[in-house]
Amino acid sequence: MMGRIKPDDAPAGNSEFDAETAADKIEAITSSPPPAPSSGVPNAAAEQPATPQPDAPQTAAEPAPVAPPIVSDPPAPPTAAAPAPAVDESALRYFASRGDKVRLQAEISRLQALYPNWVPPADPLAVPQNGDKQLEAMWKLYSDSRYAELRKAIADRQVADAGWQPPADLLERLGVAEARSRLINASDLKQYATVVDIAAATPSLLTCSEVDVLWRVAEAFIRTERAQRGQDAYAYILKNCTDAAERQATVEKASTLLDYQPMQALLALEKPAVDGKREFDAIRDNLARRFVAESNDDPKLAIAPNYISHLEKLAESEGLASDALLLGWHQLRRNNPADAEKWFRSARDREDTAAASQGLALALIARKAPQEAEDVMFRWRADSDDASATYLAATANLMALQPPADLTEDVLHRIAAEVIARRYVPTAQQFGWYARSLNQFQTAARWFETALAWKPDDEPSAYGLAVTREQLNDRKGVLDLQRGWAGRSARIADLQDTSLPASSAESAKAPRAPQQPVEPPQRPAASTAPIPAEPPTARQPEPEVAIRAARPAMQTVTVERGPRQARDCSTTIDAGRLGPGEALSRGWCLMDINRPMEAVSAFETALQSPVRKIREDAAYGQSLAYLRAGLSSNAAVAATKAPQSRQRAAELQVAILADRALSAFDAGRYRETLIYLDQRAQLQQERIDLMVLRGYCYLNLKMYDDAMRIFEAAAATGNRDAARGLADVRNVTHPDVND
C-alpha cells in the first residue's frame, strides 16, 4: 500500500517534481508565525493549524505534548455563532483504554490545537471503551506502525460493509504516518530532493513533535546546496522547541553540516541554563575543537578568540595530544611559527606521531632551523607522502643554509641516500652548492649533473654546473651547456671567464620554507631552489668603501672610492617616488653620510631601471650598504640582482667573506671562521688583521702550534694585536714561565 522508495525513484528523473516550489512551501511552513489577530480567542491564529497534527509512529514512547504546527495562513478564529464542531474522540478513547498516558496527552494537545473550544474530559482514563472491536483492532495496527496491514483491514471492512466509513482522524493519521516513513526512507537512501518534496506535501510533519523530521529536512536542504534554508530549519527548532536534549542535539547535528558563520547565528539562540551556566556548555568543548579544525582548513577564516582560548585551556587541563595538534596547525597556518612550535612540541611530548613531527618540522623550517627539522622527521620520513615531502623540504633548506651547516658524516650520508632514493631535485641541487662552498668542485659538478639527469629542464642546476665547470677550466663543458640552454637562460648564455673560486656567496639565496600543511597533516610544497649569483661581466671598476672593524681589535682597511659630487640627502623621503637615476644618486649620497639601510631602499628603486648600467651600479651599491650594516647574507643576495664586472665581483666576494668570518668569530664558531678565511685567501692575500683573527681561532681551538706560527709572522710586521696574541698563547702553554 505504502510501497518502498527505491534508489532509482529519486525525483531527479521526475519531470513533475519542482524542488524550488517544494522548498518554498517548507519555508512558508517553518517560518515564524504571524501575529494573532485581536479576537475573543487568544492566540487563535497561532494555535489553529490548517492540517491536523498526527501522533508519532513510534511504539515505544510518544513525544512530549505536541507543539501546535506553524502555518503561513491560519484560518480565521471561530465566531460565537459558529456551530460547535464534531470532535472525533476515537483515538482519545483508544489511548485511554490502553492506559497510554503519553499518547493520551499528545492526543489531547492535538485536539485542543484543532478545536480551541473543545474541553477534554475531566478524567480521560475513565472514558468508556470503544464498542467497535474492529476499529479498536485498526487503532492497534496503527499504534504498532503496521500501516500496510491497517490499509488492508480498512479495505476489507469497506468491502464487507459498504456503508461503513473509517474515521477521518484515522485516515489522516495513517496518511501522515506513511509520509513520515517515506521521508525517513528517502533520507536514509540520500534521496534529498524526495525528502524536500514529501515534507512540502505534508506540512503537519514540520513541528516540534517531529524534530527528527525537521533534522532530516534541514540536512536535505544543505545537501542540495541550499544551506540558508537548512540553517532556517535548525533555527526554527531553537526558536520554537523546548526539549533540552533535542535542542542540544540540533546544535550538534548542525555543526557537522554548517560552516562557522551560520553556526554563530544558531548559537546566538542559546538560552541560559537553570544553574546560571549556558545551555550548550556540555558540547562547547567539541564545538571549539570543530571550529579550530575548520579554521585550519581555511587559513582566511577568522574565528572568535574565545574558541582558541577555550581549546588552549582544554589542551593544558586534559593533556590530549589531538588538542595540541589543532592549536599547532592553527598557529602555523597564520604564520606564527613560535607559537606553533610550542604546541607541536607539546603534542609530540604526549604522543610522538608523524603528524606531530611533521608540524614541528614545518615550524622549525619556518623559523630557519632546518637541521633540527631534518632530525625530527627522519624517523617518520616514510610514513606517508606528506611526511616524505616534509622531510625532503627540510633537507633542501638544511643544505641551503648560509653559512653552511656543520653536518656530521652520518647526517650527510643519510640525506644523500634519501635524496637519491626519491630522486629529489631541490636537495640534489643544494648538495651541489654545499660542495662548492667547501671548494669541492668535482663533487659539486656530480651533484648538479645528477639533478639535471632527474630533471633536464632545471635551470638553477644547469647554471650551477656551468659555473662549476668554468671553475674546473672545462671550457668545452661550459660551451655545451651554453648551446643547450641558448634562448632559455640568459645568465648561462652570458657566462664569461669565471675563474674566480666560488664561495658560499654564490648560492646566496637560501630557499624559502615550504608552505604549511591543509588538512592536518597537510602536504608540504617542495622547497624552492636557491638562485646563485649572476656571473660578473667586464665593466669598468668603481671602487667603493668597505669598512668593518674586526674582533679582537684590528686594523681598519679602506678601499678608496673616487670623489663624488656633493648632494643633499639629509631629509627623509620615499625613494619609491624617485626615478631610477635619482634613486641611484640618492643611494650613494646616503652611503656618504653613513645611512646604509636607507640607501638599501634607494638602490632597490634604482634596480627597476631598464638601463643595465644603472642596475649594475644599484646592485653593487646595495651589496655595499648591506655590508656596512653587517648583513653579509643580504649583501650576497643583492650581488645577484645584476651582473657585475670581474673586479667588482671579486671585491664583493672578498668583503662578504671577511664580514662572515668576523660574524662567525663573534658567535664563537671558530672552525667556520677558518673556512671563510681560507675562501677569502684564495681571492686576495690575507691582511695582517685577518691573520691575527686566524691566530685567535687556532688559539680558541687549542691548536697552539698553528696559533704561535701565525702570531709570530704577524708580530714580525710590528702589529701590536699580533704581539698580544703571541703573549696569550705563551700564557696558556707556559703559565709558570710567564709568572
pLDDT in tens, 422-455: 999 999 999 999 888 887 888 999 999 999 999 9
CA–CA distance, 591 with 627 (Å, rounded to integer): 11
- What string of DSSP letters covers 309-360? HHHHHHHHHH--HHHHHHHHHHHHHTT-HHHHHHHHHHHHHH---HHHHHHH
CA–CA distance, 332 with 417 (Å, rounded to integer): 30
Confidence grade of residue 124 (pLDDT, cut at 50, 70, 90):
low
For the question of whether the overall pTM of this predicted structure is more than 0.75, the answer is: no
Confidence grade of residue 736 (pLDDT, cut at 50, 70, 90):
low
Tell me the domains of the chain and their CATH numbers.
Answer: 280-351 (no CATH), 578-644 (1.25.40), 667-738 (1.25.40)
- pLDDT one-digit tens code per residue, 586-597: 888 888 777 787
Three-class SS of residue 406?
coil
The predicted pLDDT at position 715 comes to 85
Number of CB atoms found within 10 A of residue 80's CB: 6
Query: Are 679 and 501 a contacting pair, CB within 8 Å?
Result: yes
Packed helices 612-628 and 632-639: angle between N→C axes, nearest 10 degrees: 170
Residues 6+ apart with CB under 8 A from 713: 691, 722
CA–CA distance, 738 with 7 (Å, rounded to integer): 100
- What string of DSSP letters covers 532-560? PPPPP--------------TTT-------
Question: 529: alpha, beta or left, given left = phi > 0 and alpha = psi -120 to 50?
Answer: beta
Q: Is the pLDDT of residue 272 over 80?
A: no
Q: What is the mean pLDDT of the chain?
A: 74
**More confident site: 352 or 73:** 352
Average pLDDT on 96-100 reads 71
Confidence grade of residue 532 (pLDDT, cut at 50, 70, 90):
very low
Average pLDDT on 319-331 reads 89
Confidence grade of residue 417 (pLDDT, cut at 50, 70, 90):
very high
Residue (of 213, 205, 194) closest to 172 by Cα position: 205
How many helices (H) and strands (E) are present in the chain, helices listed first? 35, 0
Residues 6+ apart with CB under 8 A from 688: 555, 714, 717, 719, 722
The predicted pLDDT at position 568 comes to 58
Three-class SS of residue 711?
helix
Three-class SS of residue 185?
helix
Residue (of 245, 246, 218, 243) closest to 232 by Cα position: 218
The predicted pLDDT at position 77 comes to 46
- Asked which of 8-12, 117-121, 478-482, 497-501 is least confident by mean pLDDT, the reply is 497-501
The predicted pLDDT at position 128 comes to 53
- What string of DSSP letters covers 239-256? HH---HHHHHHHHHHHHT
DSSP state for residue 405 in the 8-state scheme: P
DSSP state for residue 504 in the 8-state scheme: G
CA–CA distance, 665 with 692 (Å, rounded to integer): 12
Burial of 343-357, coded b for 16+ CB within 10 Å and e otherwise, reads bbbbbbebeebbbbb
CA–CA distance, 643 with 618 (Å, rounded to integer): 11
- pLDDT one-digit tens code per residue, 212-221: 999 999 999 9
CA–CA distance, 380 with 18 (Å, rounded to integer): 54
- pLDDT one-digit tens code per residue, 10-58: 443 344 445 455 556 555 555 544 444 333 333 333 333 333 333 333 3
Residues 6+ apart with CB under 8 A from 188: none
Q: How far is residue 168 from each of residues 52, 234, 277, 457, measured CA to CA in Å?
A: 11, 32, 47, 81
Residue (of 530, 470, 525) closest to 496 by Cα position: 470
**More confident site: 170 or 506:** 170
Output the nine-digit C-alpha cell for 211.
524534530
Three-class SS of residue 28?
helix
CA–CA distance, 107 with 124 (Å, rounded to integer): 11
